[in-house]
């Protein structure tokens, strides 16, 4: 049974006990996980997995944008690791992700500082200084068995790759970013199902309102609609 099939079976059995906000997040995230599992090309699989992750963590729109998207998933990951008393995320990081994580953390092409240099926002010396500082922070997290810290650093790099793809900075099935895209996809393939699982394990945790809540034509909340699916 695929990750989606197993999780969907559980969601159907439990969904009426979920608060509306959690139920909507899980429903949306599962729909994108399902699409990712059926994707035959790497780019599509990565895109659908990221959208599934985004559906799980994104909260209501903040009009003044004081809380960045990366800060939002940092807080989300920290909460997940605190709730993960069975240490599933810890196991994923230190056993399943070890190789891809180290490759991504050492790859300058998924570093925000590298692309700032390319855009003229900093010089080569500034890039190297920031890149080494980021790698040092990642190594400290690795040395301290800081699961949340490692995941946040990796997701920041994946987020830069996400920007490259989503903003049209790379062609479909291009040749330049295959290595980092494969590593990022391997991580998301395991991380997204575990994120959904942890959320379903803790339905009474305050996850916050889902972004773009379902609204009926009368303006009233229609969040119950997804529970019949």
pLDDT tens, residue order, the chain (229 aa): 679 999 999 999 999 999 998 999 999 999 999 999 999 999 999 999 999 999 998 876 544 444 577 777 788 899 999 998 888 888 888 877 777 777 777 777 777 767 667 676 676 776 777 777 777 777 787 778 888 888 888 888 898 888 888 888 888 887 777 888 998 999 999 999 999 999 999 998 888 888 777 776 544 444 454 555 6
Q: Find how far residue 175's CA is from the centre of its chain.
A: 24
Which structural domain, as residue segments, surrounds residue 184? 3-60+67-228
Q: Kindly report the backbone phi and psi dihedral angles of residue 215, in degrees, each rounded to the nearest multiple of 5, phi listed first.
A: -130, 130
pTM of the entire predicted model:
0.85
CB < 8 Å & 24+ apart, contacts of 93-98: 93/147, 93/150, 93/151, 94/145, 94/147, 96/190, 97/154, 97/186, 97/187, 97/190
Cβ pair 112, 163 in contact under 8 A: no
Number of domains the chain contains = 1
Q: How far apart are CA 56 and CA 54, in angstroms?
A: 5
Which of 166, 154, 51 lies closest to 103, judged by CA? 154
């Amino acid at each position: 049974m695929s990750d989606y099939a197993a999780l969907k079976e559980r969601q159907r059995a439990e969904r009426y006990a979920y608060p509306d906000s959690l139920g909507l997040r899980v429903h949306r995230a599962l729909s994108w996980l399902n699409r990712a599992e059926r994707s035959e090309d790497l780019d599509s699989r990565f895109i659908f997995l990221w959208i599934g992750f985004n559906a799980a963590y994104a909260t209501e729109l903040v009009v003044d944008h004081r809380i960045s998207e990366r800060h939002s998933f940092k807080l989300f990951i920290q909460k997940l690791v605190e709730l993960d008393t069975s240490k599933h995320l810890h196991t994923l990081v230190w056993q399943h992700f070890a190789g891809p994580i180290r490759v991504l953390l050492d790859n300058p092409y998924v570093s925000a500082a590298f692309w700032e240099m390319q855009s003229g926002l900093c010089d080569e010396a500034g890039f190297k200084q920031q890149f080494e500082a980021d790698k040092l922070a990642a190594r400290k997290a690795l040395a301290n068995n800081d699961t949340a810290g490692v995941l946040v650093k990796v997701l920041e790099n994946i987020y830069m790759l996400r920007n490259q793809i989503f903003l049209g900075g790379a062609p479909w099935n291009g040749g330049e970013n295959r290595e980092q895209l494969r590593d990022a996809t391997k991580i998301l393939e395991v991380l997204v199902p575990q994120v959904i699982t942890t959320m379903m394990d803790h339905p009474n945790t305050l996850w916050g309102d889902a972004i773009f809540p379902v609204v009926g034509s009368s303006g009233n909340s229609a969040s119950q609609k997804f529970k019949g699916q």
